[in-house]
A = this chain, B = another copy of it.
Amino acid sequence: MRETAGMATDTGDPAPSGRPATSVDVARLAGVSQATVSYVLNDAPGVTISEATRARVRAAAEELGYAPDASARTLRTGRSDIVLMPLPATPMGALVLSLLNELVERLREHRLTLALYGDARSRGVAAARDWMRWRPAAVLVETDRLTAASVRRLHDGGCATVIGFGPAPSPLVPTMVIDDGAIGACAAGHLLGRGRRDLAAIVPAEPGLDAYGARRLAGVTAAAERAGAVARRVDLPFDEDAAAWLAADWATGTGRPDGVFAYNDEYAMLLVRALQDAGLDVPRDVAVVGADDLPLGRFLRPRLSTVRVAGDVTAAGLAGRLARMVAERDRDPAVTVSLTRVEMVPRESS
């Protein structure tokens, strides 16, 4: 058995040395039509071809080192198997990345491949024109980069569906909603339920994270207002000195909150450490809740209360849904999938 197309010429095979074999070469060697080669090698459904012919085609393809060409298929059908995902403007966090890891594997079961496109800024029609170079089956992109004209252009260009993701449903496309407000509301509900009335929400000072922090704060504020309590915003960089300064202020001053949603577990750990160093007791003086349910939170003393955030869908479910939307050209903006199901994990810090 030869391994390369280049070596095939020494027995007079139809693929001349120096160029990759084509489906025409395979058809000639197998004694079938080019269409048959295409049917067999692409596992086309609903086509009746004898097992003997299939075996002959596969043997010829193997002999010539022929691989079907995705771009030929794209030109023929006007659409590739690519799900194009322009990079989000905010670097993807651990949650999104771990989902992505498995999503990529599951998409393959539906013959779809994820292409990450390194363009985190362009939006509107200029972006759509750029993305269309790939003739993507679907585009997966932040909602705030889409305009009505850009969505129209993608659809007209043959893209089966454009799927947005963002903090709220888009009026233009089906959306995967990442609801940071629900995370804050969950933490606040827990703190209020434990009798805390003077809440604070940490908003990370780091650019990029601050927008998520502000949305989580909004959830805290709304929950507090509904309960007749108050909530304030506390901007904090992920920095020991800044946390120490804040803790010292709370230890000596009069403006100390009795319950804090600390944005996530990492900020919560930073804050708990600083509060303890400043002589405050957690949770007696200040209750602290994080988010993400990092395993490390269980090893702290006190053990960290946290909001667990899980997808409403598994990667397998999401891949299946994406594949179905591509197959059915589902473009209904009324469709939303929540990627944030929240659940309170009460421990000792609150």
* A-to-B contact residues, CB < 8 Å: 3-6, 20, 65, 67-72, 74-75, 78, 80, 82, 87, 91-92, 94, 97-98, 100-102, 104-109, 113-120, 125, 129-130, 132-135, 149, 152-153, 156-158, 238, 240, 266, 269-270, 273, 295-296, 298-299
Contact = CB atoms under 8 A, between A and B. Distances in A.
Instruction: Identify whether the interface residues of A are mostly helix, strand, loop, or mixed.
Output: helix
Contacts of A98: 91
24 contacts: A3-B149, A4-B149, A4-B156, A5-B157, A6-B152, A65-B129, A65-B153, A67-B132, A67-B157, A69-B74, A70-B71, A70-B133, A91-B102, A94-B94, A100-B116, A105-B120, A108-B117, A108-B118, A113-B115, A114-B115, A238-B295, A240-B299, A266-B296, A269-B299
Given A116-B116, A266-B296, 16 more contacts: A5-B153, A6-B156, A20-B157, A20-B158, A67-B132, A67-B157, A68-B133, A71-B75, A71-B135, A82-B115, A87-B105, A92-B97, A97-B97, A105-B118, A108-B119, A266-B295
Counted per complex, copies of this chain come to 2
A149 to B, nearest CB: 4
A116 B104 contact: yes
A61 to B, nearest CB: 8
